[in-house]
Structure 1
């Protein structure tokens, strides 16, 4: 992923706060020689204090052999994207039809070392962490080995701890454009109000203020 200086995260808190609420991504795992990578969509819970993300997958999932062979993986998350028509980006004094269209988006890529979790008690603790992230208000029973309702299901899954070894974060929101052009784009996004436009506009204005 190419990251220009004007698109880079300003500080770790920027991407960490974004990742806390964008917790669905794709796990890319190196495939066997001559084969493409495995790419697995999944929910995960990222813990900045531990420097890891946790998730789980069904035991029949075909990527386990590849993970055991090479545990170095990439967890990729992309969201808050919007298409920006060329005329919106035209510089002052330039014909609007000469503006260059682009895409706005936020993206975080976590390079990780995967640790597989098969011990039943450790899997139960991992699941409690994941459910606690997605359901902080509670409402579900705790996962306890050998007890209903989830204990008997533990054998059907494997847990994954993703130890983060590197981070690449990008917030592509007209960072190299003049304030005048940024304000125009923000106004057009508000007027269009399509899917993703409000989130993209907020990123643009937040980074402009910073």
Structure 2
């Protein structure tokens, strides 16, 4: 992932806060076996200290490639929007001369994957995930010896993705003039399609922190 200086995370707290704010679904990318393309899997995940926790169905094709090479990437994206060229036109130039772009936030984790297969360890991984996704505890006990989860555990395998590197990108034109960024956020809010409003919120948040971009 290419990151311009003005698109980089301002600090670790920025991407950590963004992930914690409901961005818990991403793409697991696994190196393919020789002669095969890489495998990508969309999935929910849970942050557990310096690791990500995932579980997948046993028939999933990722297991043999991970056993051969545990180096994987997990990518989370969100708050994206297409920005039309006229919105980015410099003062005094034709609107059609503006160059369009994409706004988005992305966090990319480089990880070492460890497969979790022991029944109680899988159950504990699921408990940690459920503590995140169903914190009210409105589910049956997750126990290898009790239904309904006990009989389902053999059908899944867990993954602990130990994080070795994090690269975060918040692409919201921070190098452009303050007036232009403010106007773009206004236009996004007014258009209000798909993720326009969250994208505008990210742009205004960054604008408040960055102000005038200084290399």
> What interval of TM-score do these two structures reach, taking the shorter chain for normalisation?
over 0.9
Distance, in Å, in 2 between the alignment partners of 1:142 and 1:92 is 62
Distance in 1, Cα, partners of 2:135 & 2:108: 25
Q: Distance in 2 between matches of 1:136 and 1:91?
A: 49
* 1:7 corresponding residue in structure 2: 7
Residue 47 of structure 2 aligns to a residue in which SS? strand
CA–CA distance in 1 between the matches of 2:42 and 2:189? 31
Q: Deviations over 1:165-186 (max 9, x none)?
A: 0011000011111001101101
Structure 1 partner of 2:43: 42
Report deviation, 1:94. Answer: 2.2
Residue of structure 1 equivalent to 2:205: 206
Instruction: Give the number of aligned pairs.
Output: 208
- Aligned ranges 1:1-210 → 2 under 5 Å: 1-20=1-20, 21-47=22-48, 50-210=49-209
- Root mean square deviation of aligned Cα: 0.9
Q: What's the TM-score once normalised by structure 2's chain length? A: 0.94
Distance 1:76 1:171 in 2: 13
C-alpha distance in structure 1 between counterparts of 2:33 and 2:187, whole Å: 47
What displacement does 1:95 show? 2.0
* Aligned equivalents of 2:90, 2:176: Cα separation in 1: 8
Matched position secondary structure for 2:108: strand
Extract unaligned runs of 5+ from structure 2.
Answer: 210-215
Compute the displacement of 1:152 (Å): 1.3
Give 1:196 deviation, angstroms: 0.5
2: distance between equivalents of 1:189 and 1:102? 13
Distance in 2, matches of 1:159 and 1:146, equals 18
